[in-house]
């Protein structure tokens, strides 16, 4: 297993008890962006399911599937989940009204980013919701990759 993979398989990293203070606000604000006509959502790169779990709690009528590469992360997802990668999603064409990739694409190479765009578009029926870090204090949020 590569060192990066080991890093993302850490239970400490994904444990919901270790969520940063601003994360809950970000999830609540993102939830408010979901259009009213959405009945199904794929949360790509769902990590520990913070967004997917929030949706399921707030609206039981929305079908939610979380997709992530990390088996450790998926243990915390409280809805349907699939192990998978953003560049080759284990989902059908136009399967979901909304496909979300929150704080994911900034981790991709240029080549993988292009593949990911195609995959997100392939799986979405109507909407794609993407978020990336913005206005962060880079010194305090700096992480050194292994």
pLDDT at residue 45 is higher than 90 = yes
What pLDDT shows up at residue 46? 96
Give the separation between CA 130 and CA 125, rounded to whole angstroms. 15
What tens digit of pLDDT does each residue of 53-62 get? 999 999 999 9
Strand pairing report for 80-83 and 40-44: unpaired
Mean pLDDT of 75-94: 97
Mean pLDDT of 82-87: 97
């Amino acid at each position: 297993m590569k060192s990066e993979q080991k890093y993302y398989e850490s239970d400490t990293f994904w444990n919901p008890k270790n969520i940063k203070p601003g994360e809950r606000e970000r999830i609540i604000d993102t939830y408010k962006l979901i259009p009213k006509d959405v009945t199904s959502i794929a949360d790509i790169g769902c990590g520990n399911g913070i967004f997917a779990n929030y949706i399921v709690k707030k609206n039981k009528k929305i079908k939610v599937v979380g997709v992530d590469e990390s088996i450790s992360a998926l243990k915390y997802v409280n809805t349907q989940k699939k192990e998978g990668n953003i560049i080759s999603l284990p989902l059908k064409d136009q399967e979901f009204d909304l496909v979300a990739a929150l704080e994911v694409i900034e981790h991709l190479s240029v080549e993988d980013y292009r593949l990911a765009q195609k995959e997100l578009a392939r799986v979405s029926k109507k909407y794609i919701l993407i978020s990336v870090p913005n206005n962060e204090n880079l010194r305090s949020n700096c992480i050194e990759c292994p």
